[in-house]
Amino acid sequence: MTLTEKLLARASGKASVQAGDNIWVKADVLMTHDVCGPGTIGVFKREFGKTAKVWDKQRVVIIPDHYIFTADSMSNRNVDILRDFVREQGLPYFYDVIDDPNGSWKFDASKGNTKRQYGSNYAGVCHAALPAKGHTRPGEVLFGTDSHTCMAGAFNEFATGIGNTDAGFVMGTGKLLIKVPETMRFRLEGKLQPGVMAKDVILHCIGEIGFDGATYRAMQFDGPGIATLSMDDRMTIANMAIEAGGKNAIFEFDARTAEYVDARTRLNGTKSSYEPVEVDRDQKFVYETVIDLSKLEPTVACHPDPGQRKTAKQMNGMKLDRAYVGSCTGGKTSDFIEVARVLRGHKVSIDTFGVPATPEIVHELQTTRWGNETIWQILENAGVRMTENAGCSACLGGPLDTFGRMNQGGLKCISATNRNFPGRMGSKESEVYLASPATVAASAITGRVTDPREYLTN
């Protein structure tokens, strides 16, 4: 069996399963957020009754992150609906924007959108917050009401996005009927060259198979190249499986996975036991490819979908209007460090926005020093507009007052985010070009799509 098949067999209590089988799978964790949480709660109450209790309080994780730092009152209200539900159900894992469990959330637009406006429990973008807060464990099943839930496949688990109706059902029963996906294998060999990042790996893969090339399939990443990738790298790659239509992504388990998960579960006091799934000798794949990481180049996914692959060099210096670094995919500490490495000693020439994925990342960037400057200062001194309000921000467009949103048509933005269908970051007439944080940084300096290796001197 493939990694996904082994994991799903275990989660369904069967000795073995194969692609195409329909099986009932037990959920280890159900995650929802401010956009889908109210709808999920509505389905749950409608189907299980007004006084129903969730199947397991310890396994429901609620993370507001999407439409948070906006004066839009309906968006603010969504967070209040989550808080009311958490109080009613006594749920321990709610990463609220405010500290008062009886309060209500209101964004104060008069304070601007770059200074911190959240309390001590806020955790930022759900997919970055889940592992950081100790909710991702090898061998487990994670369902989330968000398509990029597949990011947790980096931790050797089956993680997939589901709709509100399915999530309402999981909330009441703790299980879900799943068709076992076929598996596509991406065997990684070699090591990335300087200036080439994990984002380039996944943009390369999606370019190979197209933006629907993994529809309802598992994308399995294994091979000796895995050992050279950090957990941040693996998360970036797994995050974008859905951009090829993938049901899930899954990585092999190794000592690095264990080190991360053990540290995070210990730090947060979450469940620390887990059972990884190991690679079998006998695996059936519907597609197999070998990728030599050392041969990859800085890559761009052009408007209007993530499968429109070109190398940065092939873009012939296409002119840009703005640059954006952020999201679950591209807003991690390691992403901003790469941006700082490129930008240090330079100035951006186009509007450039930086949105860390979590408050913890904000803290790391503001306290990590390179000489006399923090990473945060290096970025700001280069002209990047950094916000402390970690969250999804303009990755998903959002209300008109969202930081970094493309409100104007005709703008071309190079972005470290993960999706570039028309209208994704605002105006339907704007264009988004997906690239690594390093490529975004180099392009922000020149105002044109630029290979970051031209700027890597230190």
Taking CB under 6 A as the rule, does residue 328 contact ligand SF4? Answer: yes
* Short-list 206, 164, 170, CA closest to 30: 170
Task: Name the minimum Å distance from CB 219 to ligand SF4.
Answer: 17
Q: Which of 7, 152, 396, 435 binds ligand SF4 (CB under 6 A)?
A: 396
Task: Name the minimum Å distance from CB 68 to ligand SF4.
Answer: 10
Q: Which of 146, 200, 243, 338 binds ligand SF4 (CB under 6 A)?
A: 146
Pairing of strands 369-370, 373-374: antiparallel
Q: Which of 2, 78, 299, 418 binds ligand SF4 (CB under 6 A)?
A: 418
Structure token pair of residue 380: 């700001």
- The number of C-alpha atoms within 13 Å of 344 and in the hemisphere containing its C-beta is 17
Taking CB under 6 A as the rule, does residue 137 contact ligand SF4? Answer: no
Taking CB under 6 A as the rule, does residue 424 contact ligand SF4? Answer: no
Nearer to ligand SF4, 125 or 170 (CB): 125
Q: Which of 6, 148, 204, 448 binds ligand SF4 (CB under 6 A)?
A: 148
Quick note: the x/- pattern for ligand SF4 over 60-99, rule CB under 6 A, is ------x---------------------------------
End-to-end alpha carbon distance in the chain:
45
CB-based contact 243:214 (threshold 8 Å): no
Cα–Cα distance for residue pair 399/396, rounded to 1 Å: 9
SS3 letters for 279-342? CCCCCCCCEEEEEEHHHCCCEEECCCCCCCEEECHHHCCCECCEEEEEHHHHCCHHHHHHHHHH
Task: Name the minimum Å distance from CB 278 to ligand SF4.
Answer: 30
Q: Which of 27, 63, 125, 378 binds ligand SF4 (CB under 6 A)?
A: 125
Range in contact with ligand SF4 (rule: CB under 6 A) among 85-93, 104-112, 122-130, 288-296: 122-130
Cα–Cα distance for residue pair 270/70, rounded to 1 Å: 31
Cα–Cα distance for residue pair 55/413, rounded to 1 Å: 44
Q: Which of 327, 402, 430, 439 binds ligand SF4 (CB under 6 A)?
A: 327
Binding site for ligand SF4 (CB under 6 A): 66, 125-127, 146, 148, 327-328, 392, 395-396, 417-418
